[in-house]
Amino acid sequence: MAIFYGRMETYMRNIDNLTFGFIGIGLIGGSVAKALRRVYPCCKIIVYNRGAKSRVMALNDGTANVALDKVDSTFSECDYIFLCTPVETNIEYLTILKDIIKDTCIITDVGSVKTNIHQAVIDLNMEDNFIGGHPMAGSEKTSYEHSNDRLLENAYYPVTPTLCVASKYVEEYKKIISDIGAIPIEISYEEHDRVVAAISHLPHLIASSLVNLVKHNDSKFEYMKTFAAGGFKDITRIASSSPEMWEQICMTNNRNISNILGLYIDDLKKVQNELDSKDGHAINEMIAESRDYRDNLDDSTNSIIQKSYSIFCDIIDESGAIATIATILATNGVSIKNIGIIHNREHEEGVLKISFYDEASAKKATEQLNRHRYKVFNRK
């Protein structure tokens, strides 16, 4: 039983008996629903999804008690409703839910940009019933079939309450997020969007721009493309993201991204001036400052940009060397995402790069290869 202390009152509610609704059960919605089922086995879960396949799967695997093919009055039972569709679609569902939900229902979302939906909540006069949320976790695989009840473990989960929602619900919501294994952090929606513009949205644009810079300035012999294997490909990995998804994100957070981009351009101009004036001391200080700051970043939690789980090892250049490693890992139940020789290793250790789908697989692979006397390197 959860107990929360508000203004001159004690708020008590058994979360295990609450009813949770989901509009959309893809990777994130499905993972939240599965996590709720794991930690609150007696709760009731009502799901709506446009595609029938996910609805059937949610019923068959025991996650959902009720699966609907439309959003209707059934959602009036819900104590919480998670909006797990694209931002513009979420706003449409808000309009529908306004006349369905009970007074004590809290609607939340899982979008990576918060301003648009908060503005819609204000326009619809639904501020008493809304708390924004942003689970900073994900996977390269999408859809309900790839969702799992541990996806959000140790992931930051920004919580953006409105100014009007009761504090007792905010505390209860944060407890729910904590119970499913995530790390709730209360923040205003304005500050949230400024933060993600800097640490996620702008880096995606920079990565894409840098890749295109190389593409458009390469010679007919494509030396840039040839030598880009290795470090360059690693630092621009996020340029392989979905263009459609990132178009929507950039258009819904365009002002914040543009503001941060302006600051970044100023920094680049400063670096350019230092290069032109051969100010080596300034370049040294910039790199040292960034190195020290980056080395102090917390790597123990999931971040908004998906981690890359890779190891590097030295191998002898002989026939069957890669196949031997692949066999060792497969025999021990380790799934490989990608494997290949690094031809440009100017600033890197390890001839062979092996990528995995998760951290546990990377750790297990390291243990197995060390056991077989391979020299393995792990990078920060």
Query: Residues 62-98: pLDDT tens digits?
Result: 999 999 999 999 999 999 999 999 888 999 999 999 9
State the pLDDT at residue 5.
Answer: 37
Structure tokens at 227: 């030598």
**Band of pLDDT at residue 337, cut at 50, 70 and 90:** confident
State the pLDDT at residue 322.
Answer: 85
At position 12, the amino acid (one-letter code) is M
**173-198 pLDDT, tens per residue?**
999 999 999 999 999 999 999 999 99
List CB contacts of 144: < 8 A, sequence separation 6 or more. Answer: 25, 26, 27, 29, 30, 49, 53, 54, 57, 58
Average pLDDT over residues 45-56: 96
Determine contact, residues 37/63, Cβ cutoff 8 Å: yes
Task: Output the furthest CA–CA distance in the chain (Å, rounded).
Answer: 75
Nearest to 67 by CA among 116, 269, 224, 75: 75
Residue with tokens 């026939």: 319
Nearest to 180 by CA among 133, 239, 227: 133
State the pLDDT at residue 345.
Answer: 45
Average pLDDT over residues 31-60: 97
Measured distance CA(258)–CA(239) in Å, rounded: 18
State the pLDDT at residue 344.
Answer: 45
- What one-character-per-residue DSSP string does 188-207 give? -HHHHHHHHIIIIIHHHHHH
Is residue 342 predicted with pLDDT exceeding 70? no
The larger pLDDT score, comparing residue 129 to residue 8, is at 129
List CB contacts of 8: < 8 A, sequence separation 6 or more. Answer: none
Counting residues of the chain whose pLDDT is more than 90, the rounded percentage is 62
State the pLDDT at residue 1.
Answer: 38
Determine contact, residues 176/79, Cβ cutoff 8 Å: no
Q: Report which DSSP code applies to 302.
A: B
The larger pLDDT score, comparing residue 363 to residue 274, is at 274
Weakest-pLDDT range from 61-75, 99-113, 235-249: 235-249
Measured distance CA(164)–CA(368) in Å, rounded: 54
Mean pLDDT, the chain, integer: 88
Out of 3.40.50.970, 3.30.1330.80, 1.10.10.10, 3.30.70.260, select the CATH number for domain 309-377.
3.30.70.260
| Domain boundaries defined on the chain | 2-187, 193-295, 309-377
State the pLDDT at residue 4.
Answer: 40
Measured distance CA(52)–CA(355) in Å, rounded: 34
Weakest-pLDDT range from 81-95, 220-234, 340-354: 340-354
**132 Rama class: left (phi>0) / alpha (psi -120 to 50) / beta:** beta
Measured distance CA(234)–CA(236) in Å, rounded: 5
E strands in 104-223: 106-109, 131-133, 156-161, 183-186
Is residue 335 predicted with pLDDT exceeding 90? no
* Nearest 10 degrees: Cα torsion 262, 265, 266, 272: -170
Q: What is the CATH number of domain 193-295?
A: 1.10.3660.10
**Band of pLDDT at residue 128, cut at 50, 70 and 90:** very high
| Domain 2-187 class in CATH | alpha beta
- From the CB of residue 146, how many other CB atoms can be counted at a distance below 10 Å? 14
Weakest-pLDDT range from 88-102, 235-249, 263-277: 235-249
Rounded to the nearest 5 degrees, what angle is found at the Cα of 90, between the Cα atoms of 89 and 94? 120
Nearest to 152 by CA among 190, 119, 123, 178: 178
List CB contacts of 265: < 8 A, sequence separation 6 or more. Answer: none
State the pLDDT at residue 184.
Answer: 95
Measured distance CA(205)–CA(105) in Å, rounded: 38
Is residue 7 predicted with pLDDT exceeding 70? no
Q: pTM here?
A: 0.79
Nearest to 215 by CA among 243, 236, 191, 185: 236
